[in-house]
A = this chain, B = another copy of it.
Amino acid sequence: MSSLTNNSSLNNKDSLNNKSSAKITLLAGGVGGAKAAEGLNASRYRDGLSIIGNIGDDQAFHGLWVSPDIDTLTYSLGDRINREQGWGLAGDTCQVLNGLQQLGVDTWMQLGDLDFATHIYRTERRQRGERPQQIAEDIAVANGVNVSLILPTDDVVATRLRTQDGWLSFQDYFVRLRCAPDVLEVEYHNAEQAKANPEALAALTQADLIIIAPSNPILSIGAILAIDDLRTQLKARTVPAIAISPLIGGQAVKGPAEKIMTSLGMRADALGIAHYYQGLIDTLVIDSCDQHLQADIEALGIQVHVTNIWMKTPQDKERLMSEVAELALQTTVGELG
């Protein structure tokens, strides 16, 4: 880490006085990532927003390349997401899946018809050898997304989980087995060989502020940080990096974060999150009900900001994300917390 207590470390001091032009790069995965992205997208920081998504849960289904996390970001930012379930497109139907079922295919992965169009489109272009980054951008634009959506890499990096019964793909674990098995080990397959996308590196080097969304650190953010150049760049940053805890009172708002952290031998609370991100962030934003962990987190060299971090409504999302951005951009890192 670097001289974060010095204002001059900010890339562009002028831009911070006019905060709406500040460049913010968000690392986002899962539903928590989409919420944070939506909050920033609705805020005055929208114009300078770049979002690096998670591709670790990408998987081929029925011969089609499905990118659930990237799609959730896209559909959320395009305001087309099915809000009840938190993924998929609002009002989507499931005729294709019905048809596949009639053909005797196992269809545990829920994919809607409009959603299938996305996967068909993505797969065709990938098979033509086009860049996944370009494809993701075009899908985002077609869905009405106006902020920069970035893949960490164009290569395949697969989050895999070892359970008592062996290694599972992410979707096998997450959807098919509904997170039931104990996770003994997590790997980001091929991350070591994967080449960071120039867009992702640029988003990190050119940012005025880096925010890690309240996503599952292991399943969502881990796959981004497993790519060497991105992790190195985050460590070498000269601007503040702030994470928002995905755990409130030791529980994930959604998903298996605390279950996985526990089975991996980690503390399943905001302090465990702080441990995980140590060296990569300057500040951790935790919920009011976790204030008792503040001193322990600060002892790790991470500053703490306490607020209400549960994002239930669009207003919650915008308020929290604006507060976090404001906090970091108004003050030097030394004054945070």
Contact = CB atoms under 8 A, between A and B. Distances in A.
Contact of A103 (B63, B118, B123): B118
Contacts of A116: 96, 99, 113, 116, 120
A142 interface: yes
Contacts of A83: none
Contact of A93 (B63, B64, B93, B100): B93
Interface string A97-114: 111101111000000111
A59 to B, nearest CB: 14
A50 to B, nearest CB: 22
Contact of A113 (B63, B113, B127): B113
B99 A62 contact: no
Size bracket of the A interface: 20 to 34
B63 A127 contact: yes
A260 to B, nearest CB: 31
A123 B117 CA distance: 15
A95 B114 contact: yes
A63 B120 contact: yes
Interface in A46-100: 62-64, 92-93, 95-100
A97 B139 CA distance: 15
B120 A95 contact: no
A144 to B, nearest CB: 10
A123 B93 contact: no
Contacts of A123: 63
Contacts of A103: 117-118, 121, 138-139, 142
Interface string A117-149: 110110110010000000000110011000000
Contact of A99 (B114, B127, B138): B114
A104 B144 CA distance: 13
A100 B117 contact: yes
Contacts of A143: 102
Nearest to A80: B102
A20 B117 CA distance: 46
Given A99-B115, A102-B117, 16 more contacts: A62-B120, A62-B121, A62-B124, A93-B93, A95-B114, A95-B117, A96-B96, A97-B117, A99-B116, A99-B121, A100-B121, A102-B142, A103-B118, A113-B113, A113-B116, A120-B120
16 contacts: A62-B120, A63-B120, A63-B124, A64-B120, A95-B95, A95-B112, A96-B113, A96-B120, A98-B117, A99-B116, A99-B121, A100-B121, A102-B117, A102-B143, A104-B138, A120-B120
Which 9 pairs show the lowest CB-CB distances between chains A and B?
A99-B117, A63-B124, A95-B113, A99-B114, A100-B117, A103-B142, A103-B121, A96-B117, A62-B120
